[in-house]
Chain A
Amino acid sequence: MMLTLIDGERRHAIGAQFADGGVQVDPADVEAALGWKLAPEGLCRGSVCVPVRDRASLVRAGGLDLAALAALLDRPLALDAAERAAALGESAGDRANALHTLEAPDFTLPDLAGRMHTLSDHRGKKVLLIAYASW
């Protein structure tokens, strides 16, 4: 079966097995989607490795346990096994560190005509960023 994994703006289809309310995901699909791969030194992406102290709770018969994977990456996980969909949020620590630099986080968003605009294209000018809504 497939799981839709939401990661920021991206949606990934990932091979998954569902058991006891939990989800085990295909390691190769995880690597393709998120870049993280299980190696002898731990869970690695490029030259960065996160140690895996409790390998048995991460590596299950049906693949990698998604909740254990999210916990290792310090990322919040919203999961709906019945809907076969999950969202990986951003780590509070990572966001706090990013905001601490005071560097305005860059983004690319569409206007009504679908044209994309990127904040950093306006570097060199003062920018007044206004978030609002109709609600």
Chain B
Amino acid sequence: MKIPYNEELRPDTGLYNAKLGIWLFLASEVMLFGALFSAYIMLRTSYEYWFDIKTILNVPLATLNTVLLITSSVTMVMSWVSLKMKDLNKFKLYLGATLLCSFGFLIVKYFEYSSKFAHGLYPSSSTSLACYFTMTGLHVLHVIGGIAVFIYLIGPGIKMWDTEPERYTNRIEVAGLYWHFVDLVWIFLFPALYLL
């Protein structure tokens, strides 16, 4: 019993199932992070003693993180391109680079958080810090989720390249869409929390 349009495109919509699925998921994620940003705006504009965390946040580290994520985004799309051109080795290289950059992001985040804790700055210290930790924390959870998916795809999941290469390529595309969204969120999180 085969589910139609898992790989082939349905003629009237021009989509395969997983692509529509991932965009719907991303739409829900837009609403999730939208709610976080909305809360941030509401809390920041309504509290007169809002503590400006710009002064205690490490902008150079966060800029490094931004560069890491942007790099991981381009290596992700290049890995998909390599698969489209049937070059498995290049694909592994690029996906590996993506993984490297994302681990780098996590390591930088680890240093950021631990230095805050070392200075006695916790989410409970002020609402601005609470917002910072929660928003970046949820973003980190999404990065970890992405990493888990990549490890599966480059690990046990790579067997599908031999049996169903087109379906595997679609999986990489879908994972890539998720990853670009994670990057997109950071592109807005970075100025909102660290710069504005």
State whether these chains interact. no
